[in-house]
A and B are shown apart, each in its own frame.
Chain A
Amino acid sequence: MDGAERTVRILLKEKHFDRFCSFARLIFVMVFFVTLPVIAQAEERIRIIVTREQDAQNWPVEEAFFTIHPEAEIEYMLYSEEPLNARLISHTSDADLVILPYNVMIALEEKGYLEYLDVAADIHSYPEQLLDLSRLLTRDGRVFALPVSLYQEYWLWDQEVGDALGMEYQEVTSWSWKDYNTLASSFPCDTDQDGISDTYLIYGQTVAAFPTLQNVNLGMLFQYISSHREFQTFLQEHLQLFTQIVTDDALLDMNVTRQVTPKVLLHRTSLDNPITFMAPDALKNNNYLLFLPPPSLPGEEEMATGYLWACGVLHDSASKELAGDFIRAMVSETALQFTSKTRYDQIISVRKPSLEYTDSLSQYGPEFVSVEGFPVYTVRPGRKFLTSAFPYSEEAFRKSQSFRSRLIVNTAPYGRDFYDAVYVILQEWLDKQISDDTLCEEMNYLLNLAGGA
C-alpha cells in the first residue's frame, strides 16, 4: 500500500473527529439554551439611574427616606447616555427612579417612560416649598419630575479692580447686553499710565480646536439659542450688537503669555450656587468678588443659562411605592431643612436650610463598584454625619434662590455635538466664509434639528 492510499484509508476510517463534532454540538446547544436568568432576591431596595457620579450623593433626601424605611437600600446605577437610552427603550433598565439632565427628562416624559407624580407620589401640583421651576417640570399642570440640582452661569465683579478704576459695585438684578457693550467701550484701561493696557473687562472664551474662536464672547448667542428655536429674530434684532460684542478689545486673551498678567473687572463662572458672592454676606466676609447676573438679551426676560438635573419615577418601576416615598422624601421637612456642605447646587427649597451635613472623614462619597459589569453604588442607612449651621443669611439665600429660579436650559440632545456644530458655523461666519443670511439659514437648520421640529 503506498503512502497516499494509506493516508486515505486512515482518514476515512477515523471516527474520532466525528465524535468530537457531535460532542461539541451538544455542549454548544446546552450552553446556549440552558442558561437561566438570575432571580433577584426580594428586599426593600430602590434603584436609581444616574449619569454622573455626583448625582449619587443626595444625603438629605436619602436620610429622610431612611427615616420612613429604616431597612431599605438605595442603589445608584451609573450609565452613560447612549446605553441608558438603549436600556430604557428596551425596558431592561431594572430601575425605579432616574436622576438625569433635563434634556433627557423631557424626552422621557414625551415618550411616556415617566410616571406622573400625581400617580406615583400623590403630588398633584408643583410643590410650593421648592424653587419655582414648574414651567420646566410640569406638563398640562401635572408634575413629571422634581429638581435635584442646578448650575447656572453667573458673573462676578472684582471689587479690588473696581476700586482701582474708581467704579463702585452696585447690586443689579438685571442688565442687558447693550449695557455691557456700553461698559466694554471704556476698556481696556491703563490705570498706571505707562502706555500699556493693564485692565480689561472680562476674559474672552477660548474654544479648543477652533482657531478663530479664541478670545471671543459668545454668551449672548448661547442665551438666545437656549431659549429659541429660530434664528430670524436674532438676525434682525441682535446680530449687529453681537458683532460688536463677540470680538472686542475689552476681552482679555487668557492664552497669551505676558510678563505681567492684566487684571479683569468681571469674571464668568458657572459653578455651584452664587450664594457665596451675594451681598450682604460677601461684603461682610470681605470677599472682593461680588455677584453679578449675566446680561440679558435686550427686550427679553432676564434669564440665565445653565443645567438642571431632575428626578422622576419610571413607568415600569417594580417598586413604585418605594419610589413614591423617595419623591415625597425630596419635599419633606426632614430633607429640606438640611443641605450638604459640598453640594450647594442641590439647594432647591425656597426656605433656607438650617443645617448642613459635612463628611470630614470622606467616608460617604459615592464609590461605584462593578456589579455584573456595570458601576453600582449602594447606600445603606446608619450613616453618621456631622452637622453645622448653614452659614448664610436669609437675605443672601433669598437673592440666590431668586436668581436660580430664572434658569433656562438648552434641551438639545448630544449637547457637546450641538455646541461643536454651533462653533463650526460661527467660525465660518467670523472668517467671512458665509454671509449673515447663510448664518441664519444654518442656525435655523441646527436649532430646528435640535429642537425636534
Chain B
Amino acid sequence: MKNKLLLSVIVALLAIIICIPIWILIVQAVCPPEDARNISLFLQPVRLITTPDLQQFRTMIARHPDTWKYLSRDILYCAVSALVQCFIANLGGFLLAKYHGLFLKWLTTLYACSLLIPLQLYLIPAHQTIREIGWNESSVLMYFTVAFSPFGALMMRQVYRQVLPDEWIELFRMEDGRFGQLCRIVVFPAGFPASCVLYLISFAEGWNMIEQPLYLISDTRLHPIAFRLYNLYISEPDVICSAAMLALIPIPLLILIILWLAFRPAFSIEKHRFRGPYSCEASAAWEWIQSRD
C-alpha cells in the first residue's frame, strides 16, 4: 500500500515536471501584451501565475486578421496528408509484413535507411523534380513529403506482424475474398488503434514542418502557421506567446480525439461499416466458419 502510494506520488511529480513548460507558455500567453513583450525580451522574469487576459490573442488576431483562414487551411492540409499517409502506410505495412520476397526485404531496408537521411539532402532535388512535372510553388507540395513518408509503412509493418494472425487471412482467401475485402474487413480494423497513432504522428509531422517551408516557399502567406512563429519572435515579441499557444492547441485536441476514436466501442453491425479493434464482424465470421465445420 505504502509502495503504491509512493509510486503514485513519484509519477505525479514527474507528470507535473513534464507539464511545467506548457504551463509557463499558457501563463505568458494570457499576460497583457506589454508584459509579454517585456518577458520575451527578458526585461521581466517569466511568470508562473497571472490574472488571465485575452488581450494578447486579440492583438495578434487584429494584426493578422487572416489567422483563422490560415489556421483552418493548415489543419485541412495536415489532416488530408495524414489520411493519405495512413492509407498508404496500412497497405504498404500489411504487404511488407505478410508477403515475402527478396524485393520486399530490400524495400524495407531502403525505407528504413531513407528515414535516417537529413531532409536537406533530398528536398531540393525533389523540388526540382516537381517543377519539371509542371507544379510550381504551392503549399500543397510541402505536404507530399509527409503523405509519402516511409515511416508509416515501417510502423504498420511492425503492428501487422503482431496483431494480424495468418489464419484470418487464410479464412478470407478460402472464401475467395479479394484483396479489397480483406483490407476492409480484416486488415484495417486490426490495425485501427495503430493507424490512429500514425495519423497523430503524421499530422504532427505536417504541423511541425520547418525545413519544407523554409527551403521551398517564399510567399509567407503560404507558410504554415507553426513556421511563421519563427519570424514573429523578432518582429512581434508582444504576441509571440499567444501565437505559440495558438500553434500548440490543435495537437492536444487531436490527441484527445484520437484517444476517443481508437478506444471507443465498435460501430453497429447492421450498417456494415468497418469496425474498431473490438471487431465483432470478423470474429463473428470466424466463429461461423468454425461452426460450419
A17–B182 CA distance with the chains assembled, in angstroms: 11
Please state if B134 and A36 are interface contacts (CB–CB under 8 Å): yes
B138 within 8 A of A: yes
Please state if B218 and A92 are interface contacts (CB–CB under 8 Å): no
Q: Which of B136-151 contact A (CB under 8 A)?
A: 136-139
B239 to chain A, nearest CB (A): 15
A416–B231 CA distance with the chains assembled, in angstroms: 11
A59 to chain B, nearest CB (A): 25
A5–B269 CA distance with the chains assembled, in angstroms: 12
Please state if B134 and A11 are interface contacts (CB–CB under 8 Å): no
Binary contact track B206-218/A, C-beta < 8 Å → 1, others 0: 0000000011111
B288 within 8 A of A: yes
Please state if A3 and B42 are interface contacts (CB–CB under 8 Å): no
A83 within 8 A of B: yes
A38, A374, A416: most-surrounded residue (chain B CB, <10 A): A374
A8 within 8 A of B: yes
Please state if B181 and A11 are interface contacts (CB–CB under 8 Å): yes
Binary contact track A31-69/B, C-beta < 8 Å → 1, others 0: 000011110000000000000000000000000000000
Q: Interface size of B by Cβ–Cβ distance < 8 Å?
A: 46
Binary contact track A85-108/B, C-beta < 8 Å → 1, others 0: 110011110000000000000000
B89 to chain A, nearest CB (A): 16
B180 within 8 A of A: yes
Please state if B137 and A8 are interface contacts (CB–CB under 8 Å): no
Binary contact track A362-397/B, C-beta < 8 Å → 1, others 0: 000000001011110000000000000000000000
If A91-B128, A373-B219 touch, does A209 touch B42 (CB 8 Å cutoff)? yes
Please state if A11 and B180 are interface contacts (CB–CB under 8 Å): no
Please state if B272 and A209 are interface contacts (CB–CB under 8 Å): no
Chain A residues near B287 (CB, 8 Å)? 4
Binary contact track B100-138/A, C-beta < 8 Å → 1, others 0: 000000000000000000000001110110011111111
B52 within 8 A of A: no
A368–B139 CA distance with the chains assembled, in angstroms: 19
If A83-B216, A86-B216, A90-B131 touch, does A374 touch B181 (CB 8 Å cutoff)? no
Please state if B218 and A79 are interface contacts (CB–CB under 8 Å): yes
Kindly identify which residue among B43, B123, B176 contacts A86, using a CB–CB cutoff of 8 Å.
B123
A92–B135 CA distance with the chains assembled, in angstroms: 12
If A11-B272, A86-B216, A374-B218 touch, does A92 touch B128 (CB 8 Å cutoff)? yes
If A35-B133, A373-B219, A373-B222 touch, does A7 touch B281 (CB 8 Å cutoff)? yes
User: Can you report 27 A-B residue pairs in the complex whose CB atoms are below 8 A from each other?
Assistant: A4-B284, A4-B285, A8-B288, A11-B281, A12-B181, A17-B184, A18-B180, A18-B181, A35-B134, A37-B132, A38-B134, A80-B218, A82-B215, A86-B123, A86-B215, A86-B216, A90-B124, A91-B128, A92-B128, A92-B131, A208-B234, A209-B41, A209-B42, A210-B42, A373-B138, A374-B136, A374-B219
List the interface of chain A (C-beta within 8 A of B): 2-5, 7-8, 10-12, 14, 17-18, 21, 35-38, 78-80, 82-86, 89-92, 208-211, 370, 372-375, 416
List the interface of chain B (C-beta within 8 A of A): 40-43, 123-125, 127-128, 131-139, 172, 175-178, 180-181, 184-185, 214-222, 234, 237, 269, 272, 281, 284-285, 287-289
18 further A-B contacts with Cβ under 8 Å, apart from A5-B288, A11-B185, are: A2-B288, A11-B181, A11-B272, A11-B281, A11-B285, A18-B178, A37-B133, A82-B215, A83-B218, A84-B218, A86-B127, A91-B128, A92-B128, A92-B131, A208-B237, A209-B41, A374-B137, A416-B234
Q: Return the 7 tightest CB-CB contacts between A and B, nearest first.
A: A37-B134, A90-B128, A4-B284, A83-B218, A373-B137, A79-B218, A8-B285
